[in-house]
Homo-oligomer: A and B are copies of this chain.
Amino acid sequence: MSTAEELDAIGIDRLREIGSLKWSVFPEAIGAFVAEMDFPPAPAIAAAMKGAIDDGLTGYLPAAVRTRMTEATARWQRDRYGWDVPAERIRPVPDVLTALRATIDYFTAPGSKIVLPTPAYMPFLTIPAMHDREIIEVPMLVEDGRHVYDLDGIDRAFADGGGLLILCNPYNPLGRVFERAELEAVAEVVARHGARVFSDEIHAPLVFAPHRHVPYASISAVTAGHTITAASASKAFNLPGLKAAQVILTNDADAETWARPEVAWAEHGTANLGVIATTAAFDESREWLDGTLDYLDGNRRILGELLAEHIPDMGYRAPEGTYIAWLDARGLGIEGSPAAFFREHAGVAMTDGIACGAAGEGYLRFILATPRPVIEQAVRQMAAALREHAAR
């Protein structure tokens, strides 16, 4: 595990030299728009992958390698979230979006609409159209400064032809970690309509105390019966390019459906080194993650302090989980897209909230998994841009 001092010392020049997506799309700007980490990999993960390379374990995915990952995932779910799910019900997939596509195709009624709380992870807004499916956006409500589900809105969306609710918990981009009672309330609405849930829980390892991740399918027989869960080590251990995630099936009928060749095809693209990295992540990198979470915990607080000092009109509530900050730029007096403004005038590349749905207009999505000096430099550049340009 790198120390906080070592992470602090990773400079922008070095990040550009490595050339991750975040640091190469906008070569002049600070990269804060894509949810990936700027930190070196966990040593156990790097060692496991290098060992596999030396062995030449680069052919077709062996069953034993796959099983080691599903068993490691089962241990992880049990140890970290208290959820006992058999390894046989955990299926390898390349990524959460492949899991979503299979869910839409094979686990929802043909033509039924997709119910999507917004703001949402951007691809959730574009994928349903590839399946000729309509989306019903249900904007989150704000209660005591905290985003909560609009249960009546979800209810109306189901009544209006919705068949699948996409949950994202911990919530990208809002940073919420939902409490059991909140999830139970959602489940009640879903069950009333006989609908299905796709629960994206790939940020689950990234939760800050005292919050706790509650797997949606784990809360009752009812949620186990209507949920397809997607899990992954990709976010917490920075492995999205390695193509390994997990679908967790929690009822017999879904397991039977999944076994059909055209459905199980979703497993096809799962890559060896991703599977091996995931196993090392869940089984051997827990301390590394705890250290990384400590650092991220500092980052979310420091961002708050920096904004309070330099851009006090920027709305921010530290995320309960994820390394995504959801910034409210509506009070800054910026005309048009705040992301375009800051990219052009501050040299800071963030996602415009509007890409997360209409409910995101005026907001910014800022990725916190970066060295602290980068956060400080970003905020200073944003404050300077506001001083120079915002009043035009």
Q: Which residues of A contact B (CB under 8 A)?
A: 18-22, 24-25, 34, 36-41, 46, 49-50, 53-65, 94-95, 97-98, 126, 129-130, 238-243, 261-262, 265, 268-269, 271-274, 277
User: Measured between alpha carbons, how far is A56 from B22 in the docked complex, in Å?
Assistant: 13
Contact for A34 among B59, B65, B126, CB less than 8 A: B59
A54–B56 alpha-carbon span in the complex (Å): 18
In the bound complex, how far is the Cα of B19 from the Cα of A64, in angstroms? Answer: 8
Asked if A272 and B242 make an inter-chain contact with CB atoms under 8 angstroms apart, the answer reads yes
Cβ distance A39 to chain B, nearest Cβ, rounded Å: 7
Closest to A60 in B: B21
Chain B: minimal CB distance from A192 (Å): 33
User: Would you give the shortest CB distance from A285 to chain B, in whole angstroms?
Assistant: 13
A37 CA to B268 CA, complexed, in Å: 20
A20 touches B261 (CB 8 A): no
Q: Which residue of B lies closest to A42 (CB)?
A: B56
Shortest CB-to-CB span from A169 to chain B, Å, is: 22
Whether A24 lies near B94 (C-beta < 8 A) is: no
Cross-chain pairs A/B with CB under 8 angstroms, 22 sampled: A18-B56, A20-B56, A20-B60, A21-B59, A21-B60, A21-B62, A24-B64, A34-B60, A37-B56, A37-B59, A39-B56, A40-B56, A41-B58, A46-B53, A49-B53, A60-B240, A95-B268, A97-B268, A98-B268, A98-B269, A241-B272, A243-B269
Contacts of A60 in B (CB 8 A): 20-22, 34, 36, 240-241
Contacts of A95 in B (CB 8 A): 268-269
Instruction: Tell which of B19, B46, B58, B61 touches A54, judged by Cβ atoms closer than 8 Å.
Output: B46
**Nearest B residue (CB) for A101:** B265
A56 touches B34 (CB 8 A): no
Residues of B within 8 A of A37 (CB): 56, 59
Q: A24-B64, A56-B18, A62-B20 are in contact. Are A271 and B268 (CB under 8 A)?
A: no
Cα A56 to Cα B41 with chains together (Å): 5
Is the pair A55, B18 in contact by a Cβ cutoff of 8 Å?
yes
Distance of A42 from chain B, by nearest CB (Å): 10
User: A57 contacts B18, CB within 8 Å?
Assistant: yes
Please tell me if the beta carbons of B24 and A238 are within 8 angstroms of each other in the complex: no
Q: Smallest CB–CB gap between A32 and chain B, Å?
A: 13
* A18-B55, A130-B262 known; A61+B269 contact, CB < 8 A: no
Q: Give the distance in Å from the alpha carbon of A242 to the alpha carbon of B273 in the complex.
A: 7
The 6 A-B pairs at the shortest CB distance, nearest first, are namely: A36-B59, A241-B272, A269-B269, A130-B262, A243-B271, A21-B60
Q: How far is the CB of A130 from chain B (nearest CB, A)?
A: 4
The chain B residue with its CB closest to the CB of A97 is B268
Partner of A265, one of B94, B130, B240, B272: B130
| Chain B residues near A63 (CB-CB < 8 A) | 21, 24-25
> With A and B bound together, what is the CA distance between A236 and B293 in angstroms?
42
Q: Please determine whether A239 and B277 come into contact, CB atoms closer than 8 angstroms.
A: no
Name which residue of chain B comes closest to A61, CB basis: B241
Judge whether B59 and A241 touch: CB under 8 Å: yes
Closest residue of chain B to A262, judged by CB?
B130
Query: Do residues B126 and A241 form an inter-chain contact, with CB atoms below 8 A?
Result: no
| Chain B positions within 8 Å of A56 at CB level | 18, 20, 37-41, 238
Given A25-B63, A126-B261, A261-B126, A57-B20 contact (CB < 8 Å): yes
State in angstroms the CA–CA spacing of A46 and B62 once bound together. 20
Q: Identify the interface centre among A37, A55, A58, A240: most chain B CB within 10 Å of its CB.
A: A58
* Nearest CB of B to A127, in Å: 9
Given the complex, which residues of B lie within 8 Å of A50, measured CB to CB?
A: 50, 53
Q: Is the CB of B19 within 8 A of A57?
A: yes
Closest B-chain residue to A244, C-beta based? B271
Cα separation A94 to B265 with both chains bound (whole Å): 13
